[in-house]
């Protein structure tokens, strides 16, 4: 599984911690590469374009609140970005919503929580069934716009 990761300046530190503490996961890092002010849409769009092109299986976006990255990522066709504050939300995002992008709020979660959330997001699978029907409705609506 190919995993992309990106952040703005507020998420940079957590991004680097996650990469260093989870060495078995081979991340493709799309930046930012410092704590200098950066615009979150730039990094959200870089990562989501790679998922759309099927060069990545999933992605991780990190900013201060998680809100900006979520909004930007969800503008991209075929992207289902989920802002998760705990591992239960990450599990539901995968099982029920088939989320392909995890969004983490660096200002609101601890490093250990972020690791647990990320691991859960990567391990869980989409359940399909009634959830697929709902995702199909979203995909159909998305294709009209």
Catalytic positions: 63, 96
Comparing CA positions, the residue from 53, 47, 52 lying closest to residue 28 is 47
Cα–Cα dist 65/136, whole Å: 29
15 by Cβ neighbours in 10 Å (0-12 / 13-18 / 19+) ranks as buried
Segment (H or E) for 91: helix 87-95
**Joined tokens for residue 119:** 């691991």
């Amino acid at each position: 599984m190919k995993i992309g990761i990106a952040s703005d300046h507020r998420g940079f530190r957590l991004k680097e911690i996650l990469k260093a503490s989870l060495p078995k996961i081979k991340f493709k890092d799309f930046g930012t590469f410092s704590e200098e002010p950066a615009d979150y849409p730039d990094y959200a769009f870089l990562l989501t374009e790679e998922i759309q092109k099927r060069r990545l299986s999933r992605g991780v976006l990190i900013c201060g609140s998680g809100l900006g990255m979520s909004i930007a990522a969800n503008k991209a066709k075929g992207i289902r970005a989920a802002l998760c504050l705990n591992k239960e939300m990450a599990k539901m995002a995968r099982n029920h919503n088939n989320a392909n992008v995890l969004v983490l709020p660096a200002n609101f979660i601890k490093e250990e929580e972020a690791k647990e959330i990320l691991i859960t997001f990567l391990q869980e699978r989409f359940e399909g069934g009634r959830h697929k029907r709902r995702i199909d409705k979203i995909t159909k609506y998305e294709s009209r716009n």
